[in-house]
Amino acid sequence: MSPLQTALGLLLSLLGASISIYWYIYWQRNYRGQLLTQGPYAVVRHPFYTGFTLISLGLALMLPVFETRLLLVITLATLSVFIPREEEELQARFGQEYLDYMKRVKWRLVPHVY
């Protein structure tokens, strides 16, 4: 394992933790049962999942052992199933408001990627 790989893994993990903490504080202060579209939700539709994915990826790079790699695989597999289901539920709950939001915020996890 190279120092560059360790540094990149640490950076990604810290970035993911920062995004997750920011999301949590924003969500706690603003969620009242309505659709949130500002703050981190103005960048991606699932900011907490972005943060957790970055943490998982960073750990797999920083500590490349079976457990961290498994965490990353489980995270990606779970989110690939869970995100579409969650978006279906949000469309059913919020209707056109969510569809309009999806048009404005095109990216689920990573801007200009996915």
Q: pLDDT tens-digit profile of 65-107? A: 999 999 999 999 999 999 999 999 999 999 999 999 999 999 9
Angle between helices 96-104 and 66-94 (to 10 degrees): 130
Tell me what pLDDT residue 100 has.
98
- Please tell me the distance from the alpha carbon of residue 4 to that of residue 14, in angstroms, as a whole number: 15
Residue 112 in domain? no
Residue 111: inside a domain, yes or no?
no
- Model confidence at 111: pLDDT above 90: yes
Is residue 114 included in any domain, yes or no? no
Does residue 80 sit within a domain?
Answer: yes
**Burial code of 17-40, b = ≥16 C-beta within 10 A, e = fewer?**
eebbeebeebeeeeeeeeebeeeb
Instruction: Give the pLDDT confidence score for residue 1 in this predicted structure.
Output: 78
- The pLDDT score that the predictor gives to residue 108 is 97
pLDDT digits (tens, 9 = 90+) for 34-73: 999 999 999 999 999 999 999 999 999 999 999 999 999 9
Q: Tell me what the mean pLDDT of segment 25-30 comes to.
A: 97
Neighbours of 41 (CB within 10 A): 18
| Domain contains 51 | yes
For residues 6-31, give the mean pLDDT. Answer: 97
- Position 30 scores a pLDDT of 97
């103005």: which residue's tokens?
42
Residue-number span of the structural domain to which 19 is assigned: 3-104
- Give the amino acid at 32: R
Residue 21 falls inside a structural domain:
yes
- Looking at the structure of the chain, the number of domains it has is 1
Q: Which of 61, 57, 54, 68 is nearest to 111 (CA)?
A: 54
Say what the pTM is. 0.92
Residue 34 counted as domain residue: yes
